[in-house]
Chain A
Amino acid sequence: MYRLQSIRKCYGSNVALDIEELTIAEGRLYTLTGANGAGKSTLLSILAFLSPPTSGEIFYAGERVDRKHGPVEEYRRKVTLLHQSPYLFGGSVDDNVAFGLKVRGIRGEERRRRIDEALDVVGLRGFRDRKARELSGGEAQRVAMARALALKPEVLLLDEPLANIDRETTGLFETVIASLPAQGTTVVMTTHDPDHPGRLNGESIYLEGGRHVLRSLR
């Protein structure tokens, strides 16, 4: 799905990420581990096409992503990033989950069905008309997950999705995340929990000081 070659991301003189080569295969689940400041979030941001690398090349589905000669929106619509502390827009739960669907021109019954399905998956059936800002922290996390799932992205990037959530939501999210590769979705998630690769049947990518130093396949 991705091939990264000689990717470097620098902030001034500070090298946040320096990866010689990294391949992420389609329909697999990867956990991205490493200490704080190892470059995990920087890598996710690059994979989400939110932030360009300072140098190097990214290939997505075999195509070289060239920001200078075309917009990256096309790629961005295939990939969704869920932040550790997601932002919910003002308005209802429905408005939030519908946002990305509207952007993609999905209307009417199809949009309604996708929203209902996504809310069902995260256990929030009946929450469509609730005000997003009045939800609890756990409910807000679930809405953000539903908002990402409704898009049926080719790649779902998750920035510490299991941090700061209650046990019930953790179990639910683990089940949902583990089921995604079977549906064809590639998942890359950052985590500090060394058990996650095993529990989620995923492959581990380990970063240290911005460098990709270890990869283990279970």
Chain B
Amino acid sequence: MDFLVSSFASALRLIGSFSPDVFDAVRTSLAVSAGATVFAALLGIPLGLLVGLSDFPLKRMVVTLLNTLMAVPTVVVGLLVYGFLSRQGPLGVLGLLFTPTAIVIGGVLLASPIVANYALASVRGADPRIVPTALTLGAGRFLAVGTLIGEIRFGILAAVIAGFGRVISEVGVAMMLGGNIRGYTRTMTTAIALETSKGEFAFGMALGIVLMMVALIVNLFLNLLQQR
């Protein structure tokens, strides 16, 4: 128990002393997660809306595929992207492996199905009267869909936040595609894994606390928006 208490105290001291190692990892994590979330939102939201609002053959199969993609292990995504970005891979010439961009690419692949599924669930849960009401008030098809998006905006926002949560909390993609390079591609999660394995438990705990704080702040922000 003493070990945990003393480690917790050391972790708080590390955070309070603005340790560059801690804050480099925090900065990298936030940057790659934000970047990946933006692209995942740009892909996932239209995809979820499209699947939710249209009827087409194989729709059920597409929904099942989206659900399955949510459960793909991060290391599998890492492996796949590694294959493309490694020197022998088709995109190896771009030299992206072990860069923050590579982590963003992996993060987009991880988060897009989550964003799409949440957006799809929001559309399915939306009041079925929204679109007919907008249409009968004179809106065109695009404005009616825009009105629907406005009405389910908190569901869409929750989709984006869930995508962000997926990217910021994963280890596999960041480790395999970023390479855990100190001050460059070392994220909070890869730093926690590495430092803890080296016996630097307090350092790992400091990053764990920051990670939890980020999750808390993001959810508080969502709650605040919902109350407005």
Contacts and interface: CB of A to CB of B under 8 A. Distances in A.
Contacts of B151: 89-90
A182 interface: no
B1 interface: no
Contacts of B140: 71, 73
A71 B50 CA distance: 21
Interface residues of B, number: 16
B135 A103 contact: no
B129 A151 contact: no
B136 A87 contact: no
A99 B134 contact: yes
Contacts of B200: none
Contacts of A83: 129, 132-133
Interface string B135-157: 11111100100010011000000
A187 to B, nearest CB: 15
B138 A87 contact: no
B130 interface: yes
A87 B129 contact: yes
A80 B135 CA distance: 9
Given A87-B127, A89-B147, A73 B133 contact: no
Contacts of A104: 138
Nearest to A51: B132
Interface of A: 48, 50, 71, 73, 76-77, 79-81, 83, 85-87, 89-90, 99-100, 103-104, 147, 151
Interface of B: 127, 129-130, 132-140, 143, 147, 150-151
23 contacts: A50-B135, A50-B136, A71-B140, A73-B140, A76-B136, A76-B138, A77-B138, A80-B137, A80-B138, A83-B133, A87-B127, A87-B129, A87-B130, A89-B130, A89-B150, A90-B151, A99-B134, A99-B137, A99-B139, A100-B137, A103-B137, A103-B139, A151-B137
